[in-house]
Amino acid sequence: MKDELFKEKLTKQFEFDKSVASVFDDMINRSVPFYKENLELCANLIKKLTKEGAKVCDLGCSSANFLIFLASLRKDLKLFGVDNAPSMLEIAKSKAQAYGLNIEFFEANLCDFVFFQSDVFVANYTLQFIRPPKRQELVNEIYKNLNKGGIFIMSEKILYEDAFLSKNMIELYADYKERQGYSKIEIAAKREALENVLIPYSEKENLDMLKNAGFKKIESVFKWVNFETFIAFK
């Protein structure tokens, strides 16, 4: 279904409710530059870097696009998805069932989730929705529950520290969304709905957060304007 949620001004903050879930796949493909390519990059990295039977847990799995693609690359992986939105998980479970995949899903707020040991944790465009006072604590928990040699992949919308550059990057992103068919009114309405809901960090803040959790080996593997993907090893 096509994302037309913001053609009319909404009176509430953005949330991953039933209306968002119904258009999510279209929304994310049109709103996140190179979403499909980045998803495939992350999955292929996991394919190459993990042992047979590795546990992979997607934190904020939404409609399970990432897990389903990863399953197509490696049948041996044990896959888990966590999300706090019942409507999203309903779609995720339905899609996994349609593909005949054995993915275990958990409905939970990540800040309250009881973590288990995994070889890989993935958080693609997830931590930006976690309140800043809780974010470091969550990444600490991710590090603690990674097996030795484990991998954490994190994709985020980012801020630029230079105000002039930041302004121009935001404008470039708005131009991108217009090219995807969103009107200026829709772009402004969604930006307003996301205010104080999606809170991005700068590249430095994200790197510091990973280092403070205990990660020593961290690399940026993808970047486009104000979106970036990091990989960190335990």
Question: In whole angstroms, what is the distance from residue 210 CA to residue 193 CA?
Answer: 28
List binding-site positions for S-adenosyl-L-methionine: 35, 60-62, 83-84, 124, 191
List binding-site positions: 35, 60-62, 83-84, 124, 191
Residues in the chain: 234
| Percent of residues in the chain assigned helix, strand, coil, to nearest 5 | 45, 25, 30
DSSP characters for 171-226? HHHHHHHHHTT--HHHHHHHHHHHTTTS-PEEHHHHHHHHHHHT--EEEEEEEETT
Distances in Å between the Cα of 150 and the Cα atoms of 50, 103, 206 are: 8, 20, 19
Question: In whole angstroms, what is the distance from residue 189 CA to residue 11 CA?
Answer: 10
Question: In whole angstroms, what is the distance from residue 32 CA to residue 172 CA?
Answer: 13
Residue 221 has which token pair?
């593997």
Angle between helix 184-194 and 163-179 (nearest 10): 130
